[in-house]
Structure 1
Amino acid sequence: MKYLAGYPAPLLEQVRQLIAEDRLGALLGQRYPDGVHDIQTDRALYGYVSELKGEFMRKAEPLSKVMFDNKLHVIRNALGTHTTVSRVQGGKLKAKREIRVASLFKEVPLAWLRMIVVHELAHMKEREHDKAFYALCRHMEPDYHRLEFDLRLYLEHLGMGGKRLWANAAAASSPGQG
């Protein structure tokens, strides 16, 4: 299981059983019945990220760009990225911060979008995936680990040929956006 490497064997066996019984998608649908969120544009995503940043990381450097990225999951094998680009302007060194989120997150529950945004915001303060990093993630989203695990379950579901659970709901609720 590509997205669940490192999890305990008994837990993986439970997941295998759910997959064998074709119940994984149904389980996720039950856990997240609200379906997809309405954050479908880069502007809406920027507003959402800025709101979270303002709530938890007021003193962090401002973000210059936040956007959905269609190529992120395929090319970089990542669900989100954070970058800092430094440039010399006059006699000063200026840094621009940017967050990109895989377009997959347009078609998932808001809780999962929040989880990936929290992850990328935490990287603004903590570079490595260490205890301090995950403590900051849990501070911003107390259910961080459960949400990350559920997202990994969904990625396994998709990787095994399962259908997108909330994609049709997004298209029906917001035609023409994308």
Structure 2
Amino acid sequence: MRPKPPPDYLAGYPPALAAQVRQLIEQNKLGELLLRKYPQAHMVRTDRALYDYVQEIKGSYLRNAGQLNKVAFDSKIHVIQHALGTHTRISRVQGGKLKAKCEIRVAAVFREMPPEFLRMIVVHELAHIREREHDKAFYQLCRHMEPDYHQLEFDLRAYLCHLDATGRPLWSAATDGAKS
């Protein structure tokens, strides 16, 4: 069985832009560029801290949305689903009532990234509470919660390309910030 090729994180972008990112990786300049733009890793390390962080953003933008029952970092997401986060709704019958649970899981790779990237993925998953599909309304909601959403998503995808190509993370909890 042949191994699967790594996901093409820049598949939806213009070929010239993807080529520019690949060129920066080949020249060992992409990491330096990202570290200048995003010098520090965030300090949200535990599932409890992530839950509180998500609740804070949800409270600011989606007060009337349903309750979140669970928010957690998940080490299996990236490998199994080729996703960065998931939003799930689970409905169960309890007695004569239908109970719904809502969960957000964020790929563990986000434990050691800049706060801007963590916010971008949290905003993305929170937007799924209101908008299930990745359509115009979904991205408008993302931009409402994070005006730089599209730039952050691109920069994150560029970083994931860097990580795939080099295997070297740019941020670390151990150093509380950037490392070269």
**TM-score (ref. length: structure 1):** 0.92
Residues 157-172 of structure 1 mapped to structure 2, 5 A cutoff:
157-167=162-172, 170-172=173-175
3-state SS, counterpart of residue 63 of structure 1: coil
Q: Residue 89 of structure 1: CA displacement?
A: 1.6
Q: Distance in 2 between matches of 1:130 and 1:75?
A: 24
> Matches of residues 23-172 of structure 1 in structure 2 within 5 Å?
23-33=29-39, 35-167=40-172, 170-172=173-175
2:101 is paired with a residue of what secondary structure? strand
Deviations 1:95-114 (CA, angstroms, capped at 9, x unpaired): 00000001111100001000
Uncovered stretches (5+) of structure 2, i.e. residues with no partner: 1-6
Q: Matched residue of 1:84: which SS?
A: strand
RMSD (Å), alpha carbons: 1.4
The 3 A distance-change label for structure 1 pair 144 and 119 is same
Residue 15, structure 1, aligned to residue 18, structure 2: no
C-alpha deviation, 1:75, in angstroms: 1.3
- After TM superposition, the runs of 4+ consecutive aligned structure 1 residues lying more than 4 A away are none
Query: Partner letter of residue 31 of structure 1?
Result: K
Shift of residue 162, structure 1, vs aligned partner: 4.2
Amino acid at match of 2:175: A
Does the 8 A contact of 1:25 with 1:162 survive in 2? no
The percent of aligned pairs where both chains have the same amino acid is 65
> Partner of 1:127: helix, strand, or coil?
coil
Could you tell me whether the CA contact under 8 Å between 1:126 and 1:133 is conserved in 2? yes
Which structure is higher in helix share? 1
How many residues in Structure 1 have an aligned counterpart in Structure 2? Answer: 171
Cα deviation, residue 11, structure 1: 1.2
